[in-house]
Structure 1
Amino acid sequence: MKKKVILSVGIAAIAVCVVTGGYLGYRTMYAQTRSQALTAYMKNIEKHDYEKMYEMLDDQSKSYIKKDDFVRRSQNIYEGIEATDIKIKVTKDEKDKALQYDTHMKTVAGELNFKNQASFTKKDGKYYLQWDDEIIFPDLLRDDTVRVSSVAAKRGNIFDREGSLLAGDGQVSSVGLVPEKMSTDPSADLQNISDLLQIPVETIQKKLKENWVTPGSFVPVKNIKKLSPLMPQEEQQKSPDFALQSELLAIPGVMITDAQDRVYPLGEKASLLIGYIQNITAEDLKKHSQKGYTAQSKIGKSGLETLYEDRLHGTDGCKIWIADKNGDNKETLVSQEVKDGEDIKTTIDSNLQGQIYDSFQGDQGTSVAMNPYTGEVLALVSAPGYDDNDFILGMSKEKWKEINDDPAQPMYNRFRASWVPGSSLKPIIAGVGLSTGTLLADEDLGPSVSSWKKDDSWGNYEITTLHTYDGPANLQNAMIYSDNIYFAKAALKTGQDTLTSSLDKLGFGQDIPFEIVMKHSQYANEGEDLSDEVTLADSGYGQGQMLVNPLHMASMYSAFANEGDMIKPKLEFSESLETEKWVEGAFTPKAANTVKDDLIQVIENPAGTGHAARMDSISLAGKTGTAEIKESKEDTSGTELGWFDVFTTDPNLKEPILLITMVQDVKDRGGSGYVVDKTKPILEQWIQKQAQ
């Protein structure tokens, strides 16, 4: 239900803008003409100097209204309607007749224009205004009042692809007090409530002392999460929210009832994606001064709530009207219709988003799920997250400090960042080499060994690889066994110029064409390049100075499913979605299909690093990656990132999926194998969904 509010007066700036010959120009304070007298009068509205305005009235007008009443009435009306940019244009000035003029002003309800007239008394060569209430508005009488009514716009909802709510109106539990049911000495009870709800005792006491409160009133204190009616009773009783409500209800006078507020059903599972709203600040009001916000508005502070703010927030309805002495509407001066915020439907799959987050519970990492053929982004996960509902229900200073001091950084958005890709970049290096002709798929680049350096110019530095194998060091074997040495040689064969120009084509160092701003991917630090031979070789297996954004990685991998075309990622759902290409011909069709076939073998071949993800029911293509994070080439104490990039290869699948996942700190936890094991149940459930 829309909330209708009749506002009392506020404070607003008054600006008078007049030009000679049409709109009047400022001249002397004590005017020699009637037009100048009117201009001088209006000039004092700009200054909020209502006392000076009163001095410019003639004696008869002053007998009509006392100075204090005049000042109060003028201030209440002009500032109450937030009048600005007042312009006066004289339309007729004939001797012995009232001066006629047009008035234009901007108000809280929009632009207001009206015709009016004024008469003057001349005394000692100066003109004084013959004032009555109609000078303010033509039909305003002494017993009338000017009122401002507003109707709050409803903020738009955010939905997933199936219409499930991601952000929007929902039920919460309102904790409140009924004064007549409270203890006779409630001090200890109020302190208990304060501790449980993490709000100051003074805040509760202030609410209880508000003018409208009666002994039988329900006085809302704070909203808390509502227990889901779908949750089995035994599970409810294990919930900390159930325990909180039980403790609160044991306090005399406490009642808990249903209320409406903005809710985020996925909570921490999508908090870095959805974000949250908060009360608008003075800085926000200034920044968005022309967008219909008021001091009571809420505004998106992060995530999709900020991204779609202009479409979500809507425009409050507002009406300025004259009420007669009975309070009835005598005349509407200007009105602005309420415009509710727009609902946004995204491509996100809530179930998938939640399942991915749950699968990696306790880890620090990120996942991007995308339809490789349409570019629809199905999930954007950053773990750990925070509960964005806390920002709506009221977050205590202690909770805020806990979140910010958490070493796991729950407010750090990992899917927007860029990371060392490790071996997950090898398919990209292969695609570049095959497309440019600098690499041949069947070419043997030398025997499989555990360590290698090009020559003595590298000093003591050697490139190592985890798995060795029999047979030729060709592309397929190098991909199956994730041979670092092969891909270091491949990068050297491709060469700095060809590799960097190809990576530039693939979007490195550029904005990702997506609604959410992502950090650029890079192949070299700012001011550096790949001219150093060791750095170039390390880049071939995703080390060196390589950093890749997970969504960018997803788009590059989509080329292997689309004959070499990189698909543009999309976040907003459309029934008539047309696939858009980000980079047409990112790889040649032959190169893309060759790499895809090799990625299938990474899963199908028992020796493949991704074999643990294999399923009988469907063909998958994928690549693992374990990236070293260390201070220098000699550092042996660094940590590792684990990657697993995988996609379904059947374009006729009802719901194809490409899943890019990175987990931090996998050293001594199985490396990329840890990520593979965690990813497989997600894929199995997704594939099972196809049969339903």
Structure 2
Amino acid sequence: MEKKKGTKSKKRRRLLLLEIGGVAVLAALAAGIVLYKNIFSDTRDTVLEEYMGYIEKQEYDKMYALLDTTSKDSIEKEDFVTRNKNIYEGIEAEKISLDIPEKQDVSQPLSYRVTMETLAGEIVYDANTFFEKEKGKWRIVWQDSMIFPDLGKDDKVSVTSLEAKRGSIYDRNGTLLAGQGTVQSVGLVPGKMNVQAEADIKGIAEVLGTSPENIEAQLQASWVKEDSFVPLKKMTQTQLNEPYVSPDGTSAGASIQDKLLGYPGVLITEAESRVYPYGESTAHLLGYVQQINAEELEKMKDKGYDEQSVIGKSGLEKLYEERLRAKEGYKIAIVDAEGKEKTALAMKPAEDGEEIHLTIDAKWQQKLYEAYKEDKSCSVVMKPKSGEVLALVSTPSFNSMDFVLGISQEKWDVLNNNPDKPMYNRVRETWAPGSSFKPVTAGIGLTTGAFTPEEDFGASGLSWQKDESWGSYKVTTLHEYNGAVLKNALIYSDNIYFAKAALKIGADTFGEQLEKLGFGQDIPFDIGMTPSQYSNGETFATEVQLADSGYGQGQMLVNPLHLSCIYSAFFNEGNMILPYLELEEGKAPSYWVEHAFTPEAATTIYEDLKEVVSNPEGTGHAAAQVPGVALAGKTGTAEIKESQEDTTGTELGWFAVYNTEGMNNETVLMLNMVEDVKGRGGSGYVVNKDSEVWKQVLAE
């Protein structure tokens, strides 16, 4: 407790030191000090300070010890301790300070001012307290008004929570992605249940995936009455509409809702909840909220969180927690015996969380999820000229509502043990890019002057090696063609051309240029992404690794968002766009890397990639069939295997595709990666899927 007092001029009192025969009588001195303390330190001020100091220490019994006899006769110690404890701890009183004016008449009550911090803010009040002298000591004449001046004997101090709402997340069109909504609360009304309800409770427990003991415990809570609604579980309407399957795997054809309502006393009503209208399609992006756990509370209690707080656990819910969080308000007031407010002591207004609007377009997000939900894939859609990210999708996915409403251990085990890893956010990881990386190698080669677009690297058939120093290793490709120039190499996706291109660029220059493009660096984006890398070491270990890296193999690993940003340079005269996720009207484009490529190199590659789709021989020609839009882009099939002879490996399929016409003259770049496309058409599988997505988006 702090003590605030004005400066008091006190007369100095001397203790006379008696001398007998020139020797000080130390015993007399000690007695004098004790006498001084008894006479001058036991003032009303010091007693009040001692009393108030015990509040923060929660030593209410010591406060009671400072009361006069009459006060103790009027209130029992136990009642005194309980009343003070409930009030001061209920309002979370702390930092209590006293301001006591000087030179007060001891025949009058002591006047003072109290200042304290509470959960509803600062409380300041002026008070007057009488004191009585008992056995030479000042004692407090206590009344309830000593707690707060307007507090009567029968009054109470109420603490009211003022509800605040967590902020909502919207897409670029104002469509709700995460926010307050309603779910269905399944519960029981005890008075309407069967008299012998053991069998019913067991059946209800089976349907809800809980235990009969848990339901019994809920029904036996002290607040429960015959007409009470006892909530058991919150569920979405979609979950309630699912067919009920019994523990032995049989189905009676009834929905979960019908099965539940077949038991007397079951009531299903609406309840407020955080909701995610787009379900699995936005789960990795948005994440989910849950009640705070003990470990989190220990770290965050100083920020106003308590045991009932709901916080973001993953995704944007976690990333934007400080902005989205609802900050409850509180009102502290004195109420009379009938509950009517007498005096408002303090109020801290509730603060709703911030509304956050994303650049995300729910249309793209959902269409891509639906197209790839059975695959292990990731997708990025962005506006390459502005940096606005329109979609970030990872499949397979999970339902955020399962976590919000309380996920069972069984369901968690299914998610966690699924070999397809539905909880794994593939957008944030790095992958071997395969031929989707060839335009990057081309951009570096043209920018550094290592070769020109018209330079013919010479025909090499379907396999090639630089010389005998490579041993048995050869670079292979799938198509033979005439004229090994850049445009044809992109159309036919010629591995040999780009292996030669990397060698022409050289290891040092290639590495330097990749680092300039952001390799080995954190990606400047709200959501943390794994940095791209071009080698497991500091540089290319061998000439073969350098050659393989030219066509996106070797030890090349690229993050999908990063690769999309590199592609954006082909639209921006060689400048690589800075991606962003929060919508900001009128925001001017910003660049992550200026002059990533020369304008001439960027234009050349932009035009050549049109041929990859429009040319009948192009690897992306299937996308030419999308009506209402002209598409361009680059395919890629990355081989994941231990050696060139390994036939058991898998393949990743890529397609980076953009429109050169249509879409109201707005350019959109979409990049997709799908795992395990070996035997399913390689990158052709992705091209066909993406073509359908474009058709669906254009049809709306």
Name the TM-score, length of structure 1 as normaliser. 0.89
Alignment of 1:36-75 (within 5 A): 36-75=46-85
- Stretch moving more, 664-673 or 289-298: 289-298
Instruction: Pick one of 481, 485, 499 that aligns with 1:474.
Output: 485
- Stretch moving more, 431-440 or 93-102: 93-102
Work out whether 1:417 is the aligned partner of 2:425. no
Deviations 1:523-554 (A, max 9, x none): 223x5322532222221111222211111111
CA distance in 2, matches of 1:118, 1:533: 91
Alignment-derived partner of residue 10 in structure 1: none
User: Are 2:379 and 2:393, in contact at CA under 8 Å, matched by a contact in 1?
Assistant: yes
The letter for the 2-side match of 1:551 is L
- Residue 452 of structure 2 aligns to a residue whose secondary structure is coil
Q: How far apart are residue 624 of structure 1 and its match?
A: 0.9
Instruction: Pick one of 448, 454, 457 that aligns with 1:445.
Output: 457
Alignment of 1:263-302 (within 5 A): 263-302=275-314
Alignment-derived partner of residue 687 in structure 1: 698
Q: How far apart are residue 21 of structure 1 and its match?
A: 7.8
- Residue 268 of structure 1 aligns to a residue whose secondary structure is helix
- Residue 461 of structure 1 aligns to a residue whose secondary structure is coil
Deviations 1:143-184 (A, max 9, x none): 221110012111222222222221122232222233344333
- Residue 561 of structure 1 aligns to a residue whose secondary structure is coil
Deviations 1:66-116 (A, max 9, x none): 211111011001110112232334443535255444433221112223333
The letter for the 2-side match of 1:507 is G
- Stretch moving more, 510-519 or 569-578: 569-578
- Residue 190 of structure 1 aligns to a residue whose secondary structure is helix
Work out whether 1:382 is the aligned partner of 2:394. yes
Percent of aligned positions that are identical: 52
Alignment-derived partner of residue 573 in structure 1: 583
User: Are 2:207 and 2:256, in contact at CA under 8 Å, matched by a contact in 1?
Assistant: yes
Q: 1:31 to 1:240 in 2, by over 3 A?
A: farther
CA distance in 2, matches of 1:640, 1:291: 48
Deviations 1:352-390 (A, max 9, x none): 211111111211110011122222211111000011111
- Residue 518 of structure 2 aligns to a residue whose secondary structure is coil
Alignment-derived partner of residue 19 in structure 2: none
Deviations 1:42-84 (A, max 9, x none): 3322332211221122333323322111110110011101122
- Residue 115 of structure 1 aligns to a residue whose secondary structure is strand
Alignment-derived partner of residue 435 in structure 1: 447
Q: 1:292 to 1:492 in 2, by over 3 A?
A: same
Q: How far apart are residue 249 of structure 1 and its match?
A: 2.2
User: Are 1:171 and 1:226, in contact at CA under 8 Å, matched by a contact in 2?
Assistant: no
CA distance in 2, matches of 1:454, 1:31: 98
- Residue 592 of structure 2 aligns to a residue whose secondary structure is strand
User: Are 1:174 and 1:257, in contact at CA under 8 Å, matched by a contact in 2?
Assistant: yes
Q: 1:688 to 1:448 in 2, by over 3 A?
A: farther
Alignment-derived partner of residue 461 in structure 1: 473
The letter for the 2-side match of 1:173 is Q
Instruction: Pick one of 114, 132, 147 that aligns with 1:136.
Output: 147
- Residue 92 of structure 1 aligns to a residue whose secondary structure is coil
Gaps of 5+ in 2: 8-36, 244-250
Q: 1:537 to 1:21 in 2, by over 3 A?
A: farther
Alignment-derived partner of residue 557 in structure 2: 547
Instruction: Pick one of 666, 674, 677 that aligns with 1:663.
Output: 674
Alignment-derived partner of residue 660 in structure 2: 649
CA distance in 2, matches of 1:536, 1:99: 88
Alignment-derived partner of residue 199 in structure 2: 188
Alignment of 1:246-395 (within 5 A): 246-395=258-407
Q: 1:651 to 1:572 in 2, by over 3 A?
A: farther
Q: How far apart are residue 651 of structure 1 and its match?
A: 8.3
Instruction: Pick one of 86, 94, 98 that aligns with 1:88.
Output: 98
Q: How far apart are residue 404 of structure 1 and its match?
A: 0.7
User: Are 1:640 and 1:665, in contact at CA under 8 Å, matched by a contact in 2?
Assistant: yes
CA distance in 1, matches of 2:453, 2:197: 80
- Stretch moving more, 329-338 or 439-448: 439-448
CA distance in 2, matches of 1:529, 1:40: 71
Q: 1:261 to 1:643 in 2, by over 3 A?
A: same
Alignment-derived partner of residue 607 in structure 2: 597
The letter for the 1-side match of 2:345 is L
Q: How far apart are residue 336 of structure 1 and its match?
A: 0.8
The letter for the 2-side match of 1:445 is F
Q: 1:431 to 1:165 in 2, by over 3 A?
A: same
CA distance in 2, matches of 1:519, 1:68: 61
CA distance in 2, matches of 1:502, 1:581: 17
Q: 1:36 to 1:170 in 2, by over 3 A?
A: same
Alignment-derived partner of residue 636 in structure 2: 625
Instruction: Pick one of 115, 123, 129 that aligns with 1:112.
Output: 123
Name the TM-score, length of structure 2 as normaliser. 0.88
- Stretch moving more, 680-689 or 327-336: 680-689
Q: How far apart are residue 645 of structure 1 and its match?
A: 0.7
CA distance in 1, matches of 2:431, 2:577: 21
The letter for the 1-side match of 2:594 is E
CA distance in 2, matches of 1:323, 1:100: 25
CA distance in 2, matches of 1:76, 1:513: 51
User: Are 1:227 and 1:241, in contact at CA under 8 Å, matched by a contact in 2?
Assistant: no
Deviations 1:200-243 (A, max 9, x none): 222222333344544444433222221599x9x9xxxxx99972
Q: 1:122 to 1:636 in 2, by over 3 A?
A: farther
CA distance in 2, matches of 1:573, 1:330: 48
User: Are 1:227 and 1:242, in contact at CA under 8 Å, matched by a contact in 2?
Assistant: no
Alignment-derived partner of residue 496 in structure 1: 507
Q: How far apart are residue 269 of structure 1 and its match?
A: 1.6
User: Are 1:496 and 1:531, in contact at CA under 8 Å, matched by a contact in 2?
Assistant: no
CA distance in 2, matches of 1:397, 1:181: 31
Alignment-derived partner of residue 88 in structure 2: 78
The letter for the 2-side match of 1:495 is G
Work out whether 1:534 is the aligned partner of 2:549. no
User: Are 2:435 and 2:638, in contact at CA under 8 Å, matched by a contact in 1?
Assistant: yes
Q: How far apart are residue 434 of structure 1 and its match?
A: 1.0
Q: 1:189 to 1:433 in 2, by over 3 A?
A: same
The letter for the 2-side match of 1:136 is I
CA distance in 2, matches of 1:369, 1:609: 21
The letter for the 2-side match of 1:165 is L
Alignment-derived partner of residue 7 in structure 1: none
User: Are 2:160 and 2:330, in contact at CA under 8 Å, matched by a contact in 1?
Assistant: yes
Q: 1:326 to 1:415 in 2, by over 3 A?
A: same
Instruction: Pick one of 523, 533, 539 that aligns with 2:534.
Output: 523
Aligned length: 661
CA distance in 2, matches of 1:113, 1:433: 73
Flag the structure with larger Rg.
2
The letter for the 1-side match of 2:279 is G
CA distance in 2, matches of 1:67, 1:273: 58
CA distance in 1, matches of 2:253, 2:233: 14
Q: How far apart are residue 324 of structure 1 and its match?
A: 2.2
Alignment-derived partner of residue 247 in structure 2: none
- Residue 560 of structure 1 aligns to a residue whose secondary structure is coil
- Stretch moving more, 109-118 or 326-335: 109-118
